């Protein structure tokens, strides 16, 4: 049902719901989770406190729904990140990872992540609100692509999802975390980012382009990773 076909009261409800989320987003970013009150959200959204609580049971639910919407907006952009069957795996992975980093380091994502990191000790549930079940849409999409390449016999994994985590982890460690944690106050330069991604993809393909003889791969900690295992990453 389109918004034009909805009853007027439903459209008004949806509009106020969005106004509350927009107000909460501004306050969470500027003031932080702890210092943002439902009263302040109501005032900025030009709504009564009762109205805010009709839409959201509590502040944690409001924060969770705000984050969910942010991720849904990203998910809606994912068709533009479709893998191209006419180019190499290397080029597909490089383009995908570049788009991923650009999203993770856009102004809104960075502001939200810095706020969550700053509040995480006092509000440990914020992490689960931010990344339900440890999954991000791009991670699942990447794992699906890698699985397809494995089925074609071009790549070999004990677990494609684990492979996706490893590639994403290498790039986030070098390019994303330093910005999120405030170690640097700016995104990597275009050249630096391209070098980081090219290096990570090359290392990744060098390892997974060859079929492994063993069914279990040792980690640097000596833990045996079986094909069915897939560690969940929350950041």
Domain boundary among 27, 43, 76: 76
The encoded tokens of residue 102 equal: 């650009």
Is the domain of 38 the same as that of 121? no
Are 189 and 208 in the same domain?
Answer: yes
Cβ neighbours for 141, distance < 8 A, ≥ 6 positions apart: 78, 81
Last residue of a domain, one of 23, 56, 76: 76
Are 4 and 56 members of one domain?
Answer: yes
* Per-residue confidence (pLDDT) for residue 114, from 0 to 100: 83
pLDDT of residue 232: 33
Residues 135 and 153 in one domain: yes
Residue linked to tokens 């997974």: 208
CA dist 177 to 125, 134, 187, Å? Answer: 20, 17, 10
Structure tokens at 234: 């929350």
Task: Looking at the structure, tell me whether residues 135 and 211 fall in a common domain.
Answer: yes
Last residue of a domain, one of 44, 76, 108: 76
pTM score, whole prediction:
0.71
Segment 120-177, tens digit of pLDDT: 777 777 666 666 544 577 788 899 999 999 999 999 999 999 999 999 999 999 999 9
Residues 99 and 205 in one domain: yes
pLDDT at 227 (0 to 100): 36
The residue ranges of the chain whose pLDDT is under 70 are 1-6, 71, 74-81, 126-135, 211-235
35 and 145, same domain (yes or no) = no
The span from the CA of 228 to the CA of 224, in Å, is 11
What is residue 63's predicted lDDT score, i.e. its pLDDT? 85
CATH code of the domain containing 26: 1.10.357.10
106 plus 196 within the same structural domain: yes
Q: Are residues 95 and 126 in the same domain?
A: yes
Specify the pLDDT at position 77: 60
Total Cβ atoms within 10 A of residue 181: 11
Whether 123 and 219 map to the same domain: the answer is yes
* Same-domain pairing of 106 and 155: yes
Total domain count, the chain: 2
Q: How many CA atoms does the CB half-sphere of 12 hold within 13 Å?
A: 5
User: Residue 95's domain spans which residues?
Assistant: 78-235
The verdict on 86 and 162 lying in the same domain is yes
- For the CA atoms of 89, 90, 93, 96, the dihedral, rounded to the nearest 10 degrees, stands at -100
Q: Are 56 and 65 in contact (CB under 8 A)?
A: yes
């Amino acid at each position: 049902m389109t918004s034009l076909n909805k009853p007027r009261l439903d459209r008004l409800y949806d509009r106020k719901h969005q106004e509350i989320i927009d107000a909460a987003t501004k306050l969470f970013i500027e003031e932080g989770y702890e210092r943002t009150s439902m009263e302040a959200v109501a005032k900025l959204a030009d709504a009564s406190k009762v109205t805010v609580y009709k839409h959201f049971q509590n502040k944690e639910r409001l924060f969770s729904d705000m984050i969910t919407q942010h991720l849904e907006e990203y998910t809606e952009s994912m068709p533009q990140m479709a893998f191209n069957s006419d180019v190499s795996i290397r080029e597909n992975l490089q383009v995908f990872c570049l788009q991923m980093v650009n999203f993770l380091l856009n102004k809104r994502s960075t502001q939200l992540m810095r706020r969550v990191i700053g509040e995480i000790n006092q509000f440990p549930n914020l992490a689960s609100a931010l990344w339900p079940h440890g999954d991000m849409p791009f991670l699942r999409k990447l794992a699906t692509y890698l699985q397809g390449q494995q089925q074609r016999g071009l790549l070999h994994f004990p677990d494609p999802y684990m492979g996706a985590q490893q590639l994403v982890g290498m790039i986030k460690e070098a390019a994303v975390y330093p910005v999120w944690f405030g170690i640097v106050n700016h995104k990597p330069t275009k050249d630096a980012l391209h070098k980081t991604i090219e290096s990570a993809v090359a290392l990744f393909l060098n390892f997974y382009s060859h079929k492994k003889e063993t069914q279990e791969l040792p980690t640097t900690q000596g833990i045996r990773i079986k094909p069915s295992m897939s560690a969940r990453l929350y950041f």
